[in-house]
Amino acid sequence: MHFDRELDVKGLNCPLPILRTKKALSDMSPGQVLHVLATDPGSLKDFQAFARQTGNELLSSAEVDRVFEYFLKRK
């Protein structure tokens, strides 16, 4: 999937992945896509709730070898 910016938050635990994602999205333009890499097992629920609460769109999420990958579209 095409993305405009990548954010690596591997090794960080809640709430840091969400806080760093929020900051990264605030520096992006509406419609741009952020690719996030995380290792926190609770991050899936966190990113789903974050998207729901902020209006940013969670385009996809996947897990490969204990690394969670998210694509978020800025509102």
Radius of gyration of the chain (CA): 11
| Fold exhibited by the domain 5-73 | Translation Initiation Factor IF3 (3.30.110)
* Partners of residue 61 on adjacent β-strands: 70
Where in the chain are the domains?
5-73
Other CB atoms within 10 Å distance of the CB of residue 21: 24
* Partners of residue 70 on adjacent β-strands: 36, 61
- The pTM of the whole model exceeds 0.75: yes
Catalytic residues: 14
Give per-residue pLDDT as tens, 10-68. Answer: 999 999 999 999 999 999 999 999 999 999 999 999 999 999 999 999 999 999 999 99
